[in-house]
Amino acid sequence: MNPAITYIGCDDRDLQLFESQYALPEGMCYNSYLVSGGRIAVMDTMDPRKRDEWLDNLRKALGSRKPDYLIVHHMEPDHSGSLSAFLEAYPETTVVCSAKAQGLMAQFGAAPASVQTVKEGDTLDLGGLTLRFIMAPMVHWPEVMMTYVPELQTLFSADAFGKFGVYHADEDDWACEARRYYFNICGKYGAPVSMVLKKVASLQISTICPLHGPVLEGERLAEALRLYNIWSSYGVETAGVLVAHASIHGNTARAAEQLAEMLRARGIERVAVTDLCRDDMAEAIEDAFRMDRMVVCASSYDNNVFPPMHQFLWKLQQKAYQNRTVGIVENGSWAPSAGREMKALLEGMKDVRIIEPLVTIRSTVSQESLAQMEALADALAG
């Protein structure tokens, strides 16, 4: 990172659930930066959980200087939650943000004395450095913007290119937690993400400074851009099959494992199995988007589908799951209903091809259902 940029972010190792829903085995980091030209800009504030630590980082980085600008890229509280505390400490700072962000500030209880709203392409002269603003609406809130500093070839990308984990987590594998973060948080917004990627494609970028996760440079930056182009266009990252099961007493789970073996035996390189009742649902969502094929296997329940599967498919629908091939395995001891319900949910998704046969298991796998499973495995491998 260029010496004109000072990192002043914080790690949160104690937070268990991001957005009160996503497991954080490696914690989380919230990034904030100081950009120093002749004048000084602070890039975003901090989650209130880390407010004091961040204000301390800021004071140390400033030394005897005062910030001229606070650039607010995103109003979600994990970044703007210390805005009022910042304004109390530095009331003369001009807050720079999109018009939409200004509208949100009062709702979150912040009242800056000086606000400068900016729009696409506007610039701010920091004295030797230029901040050029790029609007990024719906990545993943409507007020989001990014900032490009041409002299430093640096893009401040808001939540884009973020990941779960403290700053130095998963240093050898950025993609794993970046993918889980992307599909669960931004997955629904592929079109706006694609649009902003097109806008920045012509820029010389050697450094990306996101609001979560490490600063990206070199090979890691190139790989992140490659993956974001695939993810935002709902393309296939890995050819393979996700077998997702929701099983009440274990028989459907055993059938799912059996089907996974059939798929492996047919030479499908990547076959992942997930237990929707016990495994991390966010990881199952990520794997569904990652691969080109999926099989959903579920018990029937209350003349519907077993709720963990319903929740999974509902979430996929919310995240705009699309352009994939899906097989269905239902289990029902007296009146199978899961297949009908799963099919109806899948049919509401864009370009999801349901592959035949729909396998029906009656309690446990029989010769008849085994033959159906072999036929489904053939179809998926074909």
159 binds ligand FEO (CB under 6 A): yes
Residue span binding ligand FEO (CB under 6 A) among the ranges 72-80, 110-118, 126-134, 310-318:
72-80
Which of 356-378 are b and which e, b meaning 16 or more Cβ less than 10 Å from the residue's Cβ?
Answer: eebbbbeeebeeebbebbeebbe
CB of 73 to ligand FEO, least distance (A): 10
Residue of 39, 50, 163, 212 interacting with ligand FEO (CB under 6 A): 212
Which lies closer to ligand FEO via its Cβ, residue 159 or residue 341?
159
**Dihedral over alpha carbons 245, 248, 250, 255 (to 10 degrees):** -40
Give the residue from 177, 99, 203, 187 showing the smallest Cα distance to 138.
Answer: 187
For residues 146 and 200, the answer to whether their CB atoms sit within 8 Å is: yes
CB-based contacts of 256-262 (< 8 A; 24+ apart in sequence): 256/295, 256/297, 256/329, 258/365, 258/373, 259/295, 259/297, 259/329, 259/373, 259/376, 259/377, 262/373, 262/374, 262/377
Nearest by Cα to 284 from 233, 244, 317, 254? 244
What is the pattern of x (binds ligand FEO, CB under 6 A) and - over residues 21-60? ----------------------------------------
Q: Which residue is nearest to ligand FEO (CB)?
A: 76
* Cβ nearer to ligand FEO, comparing 49 with 212: 212
Phi, then psi, of 87 in degrees rounded to 5: -65, -30
Q: How many CB atoms lie within 10 A of CB 51?
A: 18
- Could you tell me if 156 and 130 are in contact, meaning their C-beta atoms sit under 8 angstroms apart? no
Taking residues 120 to 149 in sequence order and writing x for each that binds ligand FEO by CB under 6 A, - otherwise, the string is: --------------------x---------
Q: For residue 146, list its beta bridge partners.
A: 134
**DSSP secondary-structure letter at 277?**
T
Q: Could you tell me the smallest distance in angstroms from the CB atom of residue 277 to ligand FEO?
A: 29
Per CB under 6 A, does 324 bind ligand FEO?
no
Whichever of 43 and 297 has its CB closer to ligand FEO, that residue is 43
Query: Residue 201: how many CB atoms within 10 A of its CB?
Result: 10
Q: Which is nearer to ligand FEO, 78 or 287 (CB)?
A: 78
Q: Which is nearer to ligand FEO, 105 or 253 (CB)?
A: 105
Q: Does 319 bind ligand FEO (CB under 6 A)?
A: no
The two three-digit tokens of residue 173, written as one number: 């594998």
For ligand FEO, which residue of 76, 283, 286, 341 counts as binding (CB under 6 A)? 76
Distance CA 324, CA 316 (A): 12
Smallest gap from Cβ 140 to ligand FEO, in A, equals 6
Identity of the residue, 39 or 79, whose beta carbon is nearer to ligand FEO in the bound complex: 79
We find the least distance from the C-beta atom of residue 161 to ligand FEO, in angstroms, to be 11
Residues 346-365 within binding reach of ligand FEO (CB under 6 A)? none
- Residue 74 vs 290, nearer CB to ligand FEO: 74
Please tell me the distance from the alpha carbon of residue 365 to that of residue 253, in angstroms, as a whole number. 11
Task: Indicate whether 177 belongs to the interface with ligand FEO (CB under 6 A).
Answer: no
Beta bridge partners of 300: 305
| Tokens standing for residue 95 | 């807050």
User: Quick check: 151 and 192 in contact, CB under 8 A?
Assistant: no
Q: Which stretch binds ligand FEO (CB under 6 A): 75-83, 227-235, 262-270, 289-297?
A: 75-83
Q: Does 211 bind ligand FEO (CB under 6 A)?
A: yes
> Of 18 and 312, which has the nearer Cβ to ligand FEO?
18
79 vs 179 by CB, closer to ligand FEO: 79
CA dihedral 323, 327, 332, 337 (to 10 degrees): 30
| Shortest spacing between CB 50 and ligand FEO, in angstroms | 13
User: Which one of 74-82, 254-262, 269-277, 350-358 is the stretch in contact with ligand FEO (CB under 6 A)?
Assistant: 74-82
**Contact set with ligand FEO (CB under 6 A):** 74, 76, 78-79, 140, 159, 211-212
